Structure 1
């Protein structure tokens, strides 16, 4: 009701604005085409390493191997989902002289002993120097703000070679305490980092060590061609897998979402509900989802279900004790819980999202059909419409529950249901196949990764009271992906509603030009949709920092897209009412029209008879007049004869 009241108030406001005349104008705004400006910033990187004589020649060589357009695709089919396409436009900057010296000094100041707890967790003995990756990214952004402030509104990839400043190949790490358990999390070694809330930035240290042989330090490559190929791969993959992320499922857009967390206990000793509550930070899950989609209203339930109480459930768990591994078929787990009436979808007007977490004593993985293709979690497709995710199923060991807690796992799987993918896998529209590059799961700060890089978000605090906090647990690329998809859905709904209204009015035999209120509403919706596209093209998708509610402000592409959709939704209701009223009054109108026709015919007949009678009267009048004239002539003749007779 509050939402409708806001929309109604908005309609009153826009009705006061000057409206363009209605005609057969094109109301469509999709597909959206926009530029994607990507700035490559080279710091302490010599173009000669890649066979180029200068930075411009290097940019030209890289551009030749990078995709020209970046799109979104649905699942692994390659079919286009979100109707938008970005034309990739690369440019380059480099640090020189004083700028370069400032970078070197700053990087050296960050090269400190790595946290002992992190080294122990990674099984590293002794002490090594390492650089805190988020701090390094922030340092690069701060330097750019001083020297190249114009680039920070674009997508930026910083390519650096820290070895030239440090004298040896640097190591980067993330580190922090996990909020639910107090254990330590993070990654080491890293050679890149990105995804933090404050901008669409990634840095890559081309000379640093990583955990993956496919991405070696460039000093380990023998030829300029190999080094150029690696540099081009970084640029192309970061654009495709991070900047313009494909979505796994069509995102669900519903105002009311019920998240039902079911922890299925298949451990030998059994989980106590107290341990479950202690190891599950529900507030963190709720807060993370509210920052992901603040326009949705979330309600949560948490339930503990013993696997032994679900008929057949223990039979779908396959144990591989040699590898300390347990496998669970995700769709069967969902079906068994549904048949046992453990799911509670209810009948309310909300989206029901069960998040099923199967806990065993082993490293628990889930799969669909093929046990070889297992994962930590899976989003099951909706049986009625496979474009959508319906439920999240994940596996967790007792150790994982004790070490990490459940919040990240639950939020991760709900993220899949809402449409997000991992940072390390995607669908490559150019190659026409799925791609998987695990280096990105370690280096992107998000709940959607397979690592605990998201622990960096725990350190952040709300920067303005009363607004959504900056502590999102999602990468900026996740937020962009979900926003683009939702905006596309809203604008697609606007277009569909608009067409339906025009078609229904035409079928009813009415004319839009005669319906001023409806015409003004449609014209206003079109203006709103066009404004949404303008902001979409400038990457102003949703202002989370100052978001206060649907229709409460018009700051972003989402706001305008929502209002365009909402206005056409209300216009559909208004149109249906007009058509129903028109149909209800049609018999009376037709009866009145028949009576009018009959009266008109009678009037015409009477008029004709009157005209005929008038002509007859005129003829009689003329005959009488003629007789009178003849009579007068005779009387005059008689008088004259009488006068003559008297004279005789």
Structure 2
């Protein structure tokens, strides 16, 4: 019934669109090739510092050290190797520079942002006294507002503001993030930043290339670099890494869509400090986790289950936790570590984990709490958490695992840890590591980004800025999420391309099924209409994809309930072909009772085709004969016209007939008279001829006589 209802909905939507049927070979829309616009806005930064004569010269120099193509992976790896997403971007850098009034306004505004840093944050960092600094999110919003005011060209795509704040303040600015952790009320945030980006309200990042900061050993201020070449390389490094690690992030797993997901949170207390369920609930605000996941993938449906076990309640679990000395960000420390696969297998053997089912997606989330700093460890690699892959299909996760000390649990809470690991299961990477498609290698531990990106996927508490209830201003992303805009783009792009891949697979399978049954798409007009509509939706999805209109979480009402973004169109293209695949396979061709009828209809179609061919030939012959008859009619009409002309001439001549008859009689009389005269003349001629002959005879006789006399005289 549900499928039938969906089918009717698709048919209704299809009927609303024009039905210009595409040829079968035209349905493919992948791979997508587009431009990645990256705007570089230089504020109080002189191109001469980098050996450039102008802004254009600087832009060319920076571009030389930046990848020309940006790609993404759909997962870390799969059974067939690295699965690349079927899209790629040609990187296009655009340069802008603040001058004159715009530069003066920037300096004035920057001074106004420099205010006392919250004392709680200073105390958290062990700093006594008072310091002034600039709140990084406020700084980024200010730069966006100034750019909209002073740059006439819209900053579409992605934007990096390269600034030098020391000219405005007369010294190094201190940038920071700050907020109160929602579960525990403790202080969160980070000091000594030099960059900030990724808030849910825009595709922007700013980098102060002059100020001192926590990661200056790898990303030194420009004043610490002696040569222009080193400074150019620094700019190129920032741009290239931001493109790879943030703007076009790779995915660690294939994302899910249109699923019921059960998140089974299993906390194993190995702290020996008596963690109880009431303490756990106070430190785990499931509402935050649920709300964050619903803004990440609102087309999925999440359910949660929370369970707490003492380590001694799970046979064999205590033996998998080891104390090891590890190199951490604070130096070498004694850390409690466990192998996530061993943890999964022990819980599975104990009957704590549910079996796999096709009714919903089951994601067990295993969290181990000890009294030490705790880590998840696979071989020699340690992390705060790992989303382990399914051995049967490594492109998808098996479980989420995380480690926490008893004290960090009570200080920070558990909601973000769970959301972070589920984010991995849904495909998200950290902002500080990524797969570099240009070298086909992993980038690890770019810690500058874990402090500077506003998302639950960081290792710091910079994410605290994301949970503040702030007024959304015009021009920013339309709703608040707990993830960076770059996380949202990454999961949206991956989901869209997966939908379009499945659309193409469904379409090809439908054509193959029809062909195997001796049918063509033209034999099923309704199917042809819907497939044509699905192709239009797929093409529109690509158009919106190229405009960065991936998905709008504010206007989303439900799957298939709106057609505004690339995701909406891609989902409808997939849904239409998926339903039609079921229609063709299960309803029409999969029903064996219908096969004899289909064969009979096929034979009738062949007979009708033969009849149509005969009729076509007869029609051709009839047309030939008709042409001949038509020509004969034309010839007859021409002959009739000639006869009419002759008749008219005869009618004209008949008017003179009496005179002609009289004249004829007169002529006949004259002829008779002439004939009589001629006869008389003939008689006279005859008489003359007779006389002539007599005269000739007489003359001959006389001549002969004369001749005789002459001869006689000669003899004498």
Q: Secondary structure at the match of 1:72?
A: coil
Q: Which has the larger radius of gyration?
A: 2
Q: Which runs of 5+ in 2 are unaligned?
A: 326-331, 608-716
Aligned counterparts of 1:264 and 1:4: Cα–Cα separation in 2: 46
Task: Tell me by how many angstroms 1:119 deviates.
Answer: 1.2
Q: Aligned runs of 1:378-393 on 2, under 5 Å?
A: 378-393=386-401
Q: Does the CA-based 8 Å contact 1:461-1:470 persist in structure 2?
A: no
Q: Secondary structure at the match of 1:352?
A: strand
Aligned counterparts of 1:588 and 1:117: Cα–Cα separation in 2: 78
Task: Tell me by how many angstroms 1:73 deviates.
Answer: 2.2
Structure 1 partner of 2:104: 101
Structure 2 partner of 1:138: 141
Structure 2 partner of 1:124: 127
Check if 1:487 corresponds to 2:496.
Answer: yes
Aligned counterparts of 2:249 and 2:293: Cα–Cα separation in 1: 18
Q: Does the CA-based 8 Å contact 1:381-1:389 persist in structure 2?
A: yes
Structure 2 partner of 1:243: 247
Structure 2 partner of 1:512: 521
1:33–1:353 Cα change, 3 Å:
same
Aligned counterparts of 1:112 and 1:22: Cα–Cα separation in 2: 62
Normalization by structure 1: what TM-score?
0.88
Task: Tell me by how many angstroms 1:2 deviates.
Answer: 7.0
Q: Which of 186, 189, 201 in structure 1 is aligned with 2:192?
A: 189
Q: Which of 287, 295, 299 in structure 1 is aligned with 2:299?
A: 295
Aligned counterparts of 1:149 and 1:139: Cα–Cα separation in 2: 17
Aligned counterparts of 2:592 and 2:334: Cα–Cα separation in 1: 71
Structure 1 partner of 2:363: 353
Q: Secondary structure at the match of 2:535?
A: helix
Structure 2 partner of 1:424: 432
Check if 1:459 corresponds to 2:468.
Answer: yes
Aligned counterparts of 1:197 and 1:592: Cα–Cα separation in 2: 58
Aligned residues: 591
Q: Which of 341, 345, 350 in structure 2 is aligned with 1:335?
A: 345
1:7–1:242 Cα change, 3 Å:
farther
Structure 2 partner of 1:375: 383
Check if 1:86 corresponds to 2:94.
Answer: no
Check if 1:496 corresponds to 2:505.
Answer: yes
Q: Secondary structure at the match of 1:388?
A: strand
Q: Which of 244, 260, 263 in structure 2 is aligned with 1:259?
A: 263
Structure 2 partner of 1:46: 46
Q: 1:378-427 deviations in whole A, cap 9, x for unaligned?
A: 01101210111121000000111111000111000000000000000011
Aligned counterparts of 1:490 and 1:592: Cα–Cα separation in 2: 34
1:593–1:417 Cα change, 3 Å:
closer
Q: Secondary structure at the match of 2:567?
A: helix
Q: Which runs of 5+ in 1 are unaligned?
A: 598-648
1:233–1:403 Cα change, 3 Å:
same
Aligned counterparts of 1:222 and 1:543: Cα–Cα separation in 2: 46
Aligned counterparts of 1:229 and 1:32: Cα–Cα separation in 2: 31
Task: Tell me by how many angstroms 1:3 deviates.
Answer: 8.6
Task: Tell me by how many angstroms 1:472 deviates.
Answer: 1.1
Q: Does the CA-based 8 Å contact 1:76-1:434 persist in structure 2?
A: no
1:221–1:585 Cα change, 3 Å:
closer
Normalization by structure 2: what TM-score?
0.79
1:314–1:145 Cα change, 3 Å:
same
Q: 1:576-614 deviations in whole A, cap 9, x for unaligned?
A: 2221357634179659979x99xxxxxxxxxxxxxxxxx
Q: Which sits farther off after the overlay, 209-218 or 554-563?
A: 209-218
Q: Does the CA-based 8 Å contact 1:461-1:469 persist in structure 2?
A: no
1:590–1:539 Cα change, 3 Å:
closer
Check if 1:180 corresponds to 2:183.
Answer: yes
Q: Which of 145, 150, 173 in structure 2 is aligned with 1:147?
A: 150
Aligned counterparts of 2:103 and 2:450: Cα–Cα separation in 1: 30
Task: Tell me by how many angstroms 1:26 deviates.
Answer: 2.2
1:432–1:25 Cα change, 3 Å:
closer
Aligned counterparts of 1:257 and 1:276: Cα–Cα separation in 2: 22
Structure 2 partner of 1:272: 276
Q: Does the CA-based 8 Å contact 1:460-1:470 persist in structure 2?
A: no
Q: Aligned runs of 1:544-563 on 2, under 5 Å?
A: 544-563=553-572
Q: Secondary structure at the match of 1:258?
A: strand
1:273–1:469 Cα change, 3 Å:
farther
Q: Does the CA-based 8 Å contact 1:3-1:551 persist in structure 2?
A: no
RMSD, aligned CA:
2.2
Q: Secondary structure at the match of 2:19?
A: coil
Q: Does the CA-based 8 Å contact 1:252-1:388 persist in structure 2?
A: no
Task: Tell me by how many angstroms 1:574 deviates.
Answer: 1.3
Aligned counterparts of 1:572 and 1:554: Cα–Cα separation in 2: 22
Structure 2 partner of 1:642: none
Task: Tell me by how many angstroms 1:152 deviates.
Answer: 3.4
Q: Does the CA-based 8 Å contact 1:82-1:485 persist in structure 2?
A: yes
Task: Tell me by how many angstroms 1:285 deviates.
Answer: 0.4
Task: Tell me by how many angstroms 1:319 deviates.
Answer: 1.6
Q: 1:192-225 deviations in whole A, cap 9, x for unaligned?
A: 0000111100000001122111011111111111
Task: Tell me by how many angstroms 1:12 deviates.
Answer: 1.3
Q: Which of 206, 214, 219 in structure 1 is aligned with 2:218?
A: 214
Structure 1 partner of 2:710: none
Q: Does the CA-based 8 Å contact 1:195-1:444 persist in structure 2?
A: yes
Task: Tell me by how many angstroms 1:42 deviates.
Answer: 0.2
Q: Does the CA-based 8 Å contact 1:291-1:469 persist in structure 2?
A: no
Task: Tell me by how many angstroms 1:432 deviates.
Answer: 2.5
Task: Tell me by how many angstroms 1:546 deviates.
Answer: 1.3
Check if 1:405 corresponds to 2:413.
Answer: yes
Task: Tell me by how many angstroms 1:253 deviates.
Answer: 2.6
1:494–1:348 Cα change, 3 Å:
closer
